[in-house]
Amino acid sequence: MPDGYLGVDVGSISTKAAVVGDDGEVFASAYLWTEGNPVAAVRRLLTELAEQLRDKDVSVVSVGTTGSARELVGAMLDAQVVKNEITAHAVGTLSMHPEVQTILEIGGQDSKIIVLRNGIPVDYAMNTLCAAGTGSFLSSQARRLGIPVEEFGDYALRSKRPTKIAGRCTVFAESDLVHKAQIGHPIEDIIAGLCRAIVTNYLNNVGKGKEILAPVVFQGGVSKNIGVVKAFGDITGEEIIVDDTGHLMGAIGAAILARQSGQRVPFAFDVREMHFETMGKECGGCGNDCEIVLAVRDGKPIDAWGNRCAKGVERAKSDLQVPLEV
């Protein structure tokens, strides 16, 4: 029975998972919307993965988590490894592109760049404050134009003269888009301009001061938009590599990290039947006023985070009057 390693990447917009083997084979994978409830999203992921693995006779022996809800999901799944997105994306990408020097990633609500040299991440930057350089920027403009964002790439490739769109702010972009449409710019030129705007915004903010060297790998949900891929290639002058599994790379990286940890704890998919919840509490023990988050499984606290010292956890234990393992 081959061993499998489960990686879960929980973001604000989407939740991804992959079960990877010792040789890097992806035995199963899943991608769905988080919908503001990472616990419910992970339940649905596990159900889908279990179905895909039903006839493959794969035994999951280690779990890794990453993404914005990595601590919560790590506690939920008793993960052996909990790592940040930069590390997970770098490890996952290097497993498929050992020579990669630049990783571009644009998701629904955030974006990042990772600079690698000789297989080692040496610099990175993230943007979580402005929607103008993310997938939500394109989605909001697609709604305004009445065109599915999935069709943006085809429209952009038909453009001969992309319209210049002020893409540094979604508010200004919408105003500029309406103005350009009113004065007669073709829709395909406007959409190509939007694709270029998201790339320009990304490079001027997330990529500012970073040396973008080939091979360049583009990941995240926006990498499926061929209009944005073309804009990156045109503006940087580099070939842009997009994998079929690019949207899963964080999960694949988390799975590889779980494998590399050497920790083997058999994972049972019936964890999805357990009852999980989280509780928030302000410590109030000092001026830091830490916000403690407790993860509770079947009525029993299993983990806590957000505290800068042990006193925060002790205070939470006292308030709940139950033992808490930390």
pLDDT, tens only, 249-269: 999 999 999 999 999 999 988
If you classify domain 3-94+250-273 with CATH, what class do you get?
Answer: alpha beta
CA–CA separation, 99 and 83 (whole Å): 22
Whether the link from the prior residue into 215 is cis, omega within 30° of 0, is: yes
CA–CA separation, 167 and 195 (whole Å): 9
Q: What percent of the chain has pLDDT over 90?
A: 42
Average pLDDT of the chain, as a whole number: 85
Question: Is it the case that residue 247 has pLDDT exceeding 90?
Answer: no
Domain topology for 99-242:
Nucleotidyltransferase; domain 5 (3.30.420)
User: Measured at the alpha carbon of residue 250, what is the angle toward residues 249 and 255, in degrees to the nearest 5?
Assistant: 95
CA–CA separation, 305 and 301 (whole Å): 12
The pLDDT value recorded for residue 138 is: 79
The pLDDT value recorded for residue 180 is: 84
SS (H, E, C) the chain: CCEEEEEEEECCCEEEEEEECCCCCEEEEEEEECCCCHHHHHHHHHHHHHHHHCCCCCEEEEEEEEECCHHHHHHHCCCCEECCHHHHHHHHHHHHCCCCCEEEEECCCCEEEEEEECCEEEEEEEECCCHHHCHHHHHHHHHHHCCCHHHHHHHHHCCCCCCCCCCCCHHHHHHHHHHHHHCCCCHHHHHHHHHHHHHHHHHHHCCCCCCCCCCEEEECHHHHCHHHHHHHHHHHCCCEECCCCHHHHHHHHHHHHHHHHCCCCCCCHHHHHCCEEEEEEECCCCCCCCEEEEEEECCEEEEEECCCCHHHHHHHHHHHCCCCCC
CA–CA separation, 285 and 287 (whole Å): 7
Radius of gyration, alpha carbons of the chain: 22
pLDDT digit string, tens, across residues 87-126: 999 999 999 999 999 999 987 777 899 999 999 999 999 8
Confidence of residue 324 (pLDDT cuts 50, 70, 90): very low
- For 154, how many CA atoms within 13 A lie in the half-sphere containing its CB? 5
The pLDDT value recorded for residue 6 is: 97
In the block, which residue shows the tokens 């690698």? 116
Least confident among 63-67, 135-139, 244-248: 135-139
Question: Is it the case that residue 326 has pLDDT exceeding 50?
Answer: no
The answer to whether 3-94+250-273 and 276-320 have equal CATH topology is no
Nearest by Cα to 223 from 95, 124, 104? 104
What's the longest Cα–Cα distance across the chain? 68
pLDDT digit string, tens, across residues 272-316: 666 767 777 777 778 777 877 777 776 666 667 677 777 777 776
pLDDT digit string, tens, across residues 169-191: 666 777 787 888 888 889 899 99
Confidence of residue 157 (pLDDT cuts 50, 70, 90): very high
Residue spans of the domains in the chain: they are 3-94+250-273, 99-242, 276-320
Q: β-strand 120-127 against 216-219: which pairing, if any?
A: unpaired
pLDDT digit string, tens, across residues 23-79: 999 999 999 988 878 888 888 999 999 999 988 889 999 999 998 888 888 888 889
The pLDDT value recorded for residue 128 is: 57
The pLDDT value recorded for residue 168 is: 64
How many other β-carbons are positioned within 10 Å of the β-carbon of residue 51? Answer: 12
Q: What is the CATH number of domain 276-320?
A: 2.20.25
